[in-house]
Structure 1
Amino acid sequence: MTLLERTGLTRFNPAQGGARGMKIIATGSLVVMAGVFLLANTLDDAYPAWGFVKAFAEAAMVGGLADWFAVTALFRHPLGLPIPHTAIIPRNKDRIGDTLAQFLRENFLTPSVVARRMRGADVAGAIGRFLTDPPGEGRLRQGASSLIASILEALDQERLGGMVKGAIAGRMKAMEVSPLLGKSLDAAITEDRHVPVLDAVINWASRTLDANEDLIRGMVHDKSGWVVRFTGLDARVADGIIDGLRRLTVELATDVNHPLRAKAEDSLAALAWDLQYDEAVRSKVESAKQDIIANKAFGDWIDGLWEKTRAGLLKSARDPDATMAGRFGEAVRALGATLQEDARLKATINQFARRAMVGAVATYGAGIVTLVSETIRGWDARTVTGRLENAVGRDLQYIRINGTLVGGLVGLVIHSVEMVA
Structure 2
Amino acid sequence: MTLLRLPRPKDAFAPHPARRMRLVASGMLVAMAALFILARATVHVHPAIGFVQAFAEAAMVGGLADWFAVTALFRHPLGLPIPHTAIIPRNKDRIGDTLAAFLRDNFLTPAVVARRMRHMDVAAATGRFLASPSGGDGRLREGASRLIADILEALDQERLGGMVKGAIGQRLRAINIGPLIGQAIEAAMRDGRHAPVINSIVLWADRTLEANEHLIRQMVHDRAGKVLRWTGLDENLANAILNGLRKLLSDMADDPAHPLRLKAEEGMAKLAFDLQFDLEMQAKAAQIRDEILDNPAMQRWIDGLWEQARAGLLRAVRDPGKAMAGRLGEALRALGGTLQQEAGLRLVINRFVRRAAVGAAASYGDAIVRLVSDTVRSWDAGTVTSRLEHAVGRDLQYIRINGTIVGGLVGLAIHAVDTFF
Task: Give the TM interval when normalised to the shorter protein.
Answer: 0.5 to 0.7
Structure 2 residue aligned with 1:403: 403
Moved more, 129-138 or 100-109: 129-138
Cα distance in 2 for residues equivalent to 1:66 and 1:326: 63
**In 1, Cα distance between the equivalents of 2:333 and 2:191?**
37
Number of the residue aligned with 1:381: 381
1:34 and 1:323, CA in 2 relative to 1: closer, same or farther beyond 3 A? Answer: closer
Distance (Å, rounded) in 1 between the aligned partners of 2:185 and 2:416: 96
Partner residue in 2 for 1:228: none
1:323 and 1:383 map into 2 onto residues whose CA distance is 36
TM-score (normalizing by structure 2): 0.55
Larger-gyration structure (1/2): 1
Taking the TM superposition and a 5 Å limit, the aligned residue runs for 1:218-229 are none
Matched, 1:54 2:53: yes
Give the structure 1 partner of residue 360 of structure 2: 360
Counterpart-to-counterpart distance in 2, 1:322 and 1:99: 41
Q: Distance in 2 between matches of 1:364 and 1:375?
A: 16
Aligned to 2:24: 25
- Structure 1 residues 93 and 141: CA distance shift in structure 2, 3 A: closer
Residues in 2 aligned to 1:391 and 1:319: alpha-carbon distance in whole angstroms: 28
% identical equivalent positions? 63
CA distances 1:288-309 after superposition (whole Å, capped 9, x unpaired): xx9xxxxxxxxxxxxxxxxxxx
Aligned in 2, Cα 1:47/1:384: closer, same or farther, shift over 3 Å?
A: same
Match of 1:175 in 2: 188
Counterpart residue identity of residue 111, structure 2: S
Cα gap change, 1:320 to 1:63, in 2 (>3 Å)? closer
Relative to 1, partners in 2 of residues 1:93 and 1:123: Cα closer, same or farther, differing over 3 Å?
A: same
> In 2 relative to 1, CA 13–104 (structure 1 residues): closer, same or farther, beyond 3 Å?
farther
Q: In 2, Cα distance between the equivalents of 1:69 and 1:84?
A: 12
Task: Give the alignment of 1:11-410 within 5 angstroms.
Answer: 17-135=16-134, 139=142, 175-176=188-189, 178=191, 329-410=329-410
Distance 1:347 1:89 in 2: 47
Deviation at 1:335, TM superposition (A): 2.1
Shift of 1:392: 0.9
Aligned residues: 263
Amino acid at match of 1:358: V
SS at match of 1:334: helix
Q: Deviations over 1:352-377 (max 9, x none)?
A: 00111111111111011112112222
Return closer, same or farther for 1:331/1:384 CA change in 2, 3 Å cut-off: closer
Q: For residues 323 and 80 of structure 2, what CA distance do their matches in structure 1 show? A: 66
Cα distance, 1:324 vs. partner? 6.0
Using the TM superposition, give the Cα deviation of residue 382 of structure 1 relative to its aligned residue in structure 2, in angstroms.
1.6
Measure the CA separation in 1 of the matches of 2:56 and 2:133.
Answer: 61
Q: Distance in 1 between matches of 2:372 and 2:403?
A: 35
Given that residues 107 and 113 in structure 1 are in contact (C-alpha distance below 8 angstroms), is that contact kept between their aligned partners in structure 2? yes
Secondary structure of the residue aligned to 1:90 is helix
C-alpha distance in 2, partners of 1:13/1:171? 68
Deviation at 1:334, TM superposition (A): 3.0
Per-residue CA deviations over 1:75-128 (Å, capped at 9, x if unaligned) read 111111111111111111111111111111101111111111111111110111
Letter in 2 for 1:119: R
C-alpha contact (below 8 Å) 1:135/1:141 kept by paired residues:
no
TM-score (norm 1): 0.55
Counterpart of 1:348, as a letter, is: V
User: 2:81 and 2:12 mapped to 1: Cα distance?
Assistant: 32
Pairwise CA distance, 1:135: 2.3
Contact 1:67 1:403 in 2 (8 A): yes
Task: Give per-residue Cα distances to partners, 1:145-196, cap 9 Å, x unaligned.
Answer: x9xxxxxxxxxxxxxxxxxxxx9xx96995247579xxxxxxxxxxxxxxxx
* Unpaired runs of at least 5, structure 2: 1-10, 150-179, 194-255, 269-311
